[in-house]
Copies of this chain bind each other. A is one copy, B any other.
């Protein structure tokens, strides 16, 4: 797959010390946004869509929140600590909720199992950045 982010970050005028942690967080946020967008759609196509309402809803929330978070973290110029911390917290909450809901359907639907993994990876990458931020 095309993947230009590492070269983009290397070329950025700002070079924060935790750049690796930032890169992993951006990648995980966009990966999770793609997974959640696709999982909502896969659930919609399932015969028993009525049983997947909560999964679809949480997928849609999580996709929106992951995208917004990925964009905020991708901006290295003059970041504001309180804003970024709160958005990382919201992203962890969304990924935990969505991962938990997807896990409930993992045995039945492989797309829910994979989406739960993407949520877990994203929550972890957000937490790593959250903990790397200066106190």
Contact = CB atoms under 8 A, between A and B. Distances in A.
A37 to B, nearest CB: 5
A75 interface: yes
Main DSSP-derived SS at the A contact region = helix
Contact of A75 (B28, B37, B67, B79): B37
Give the interface centre of A13, A39, A122 by most chain B CB atoms within 10 Å: A13
Interface residues of A, number: 80
Contacts of A89: 86, 89-90
A117 B4 contact: yes
Contacts of A79: 57
A64 B71 contact: yes
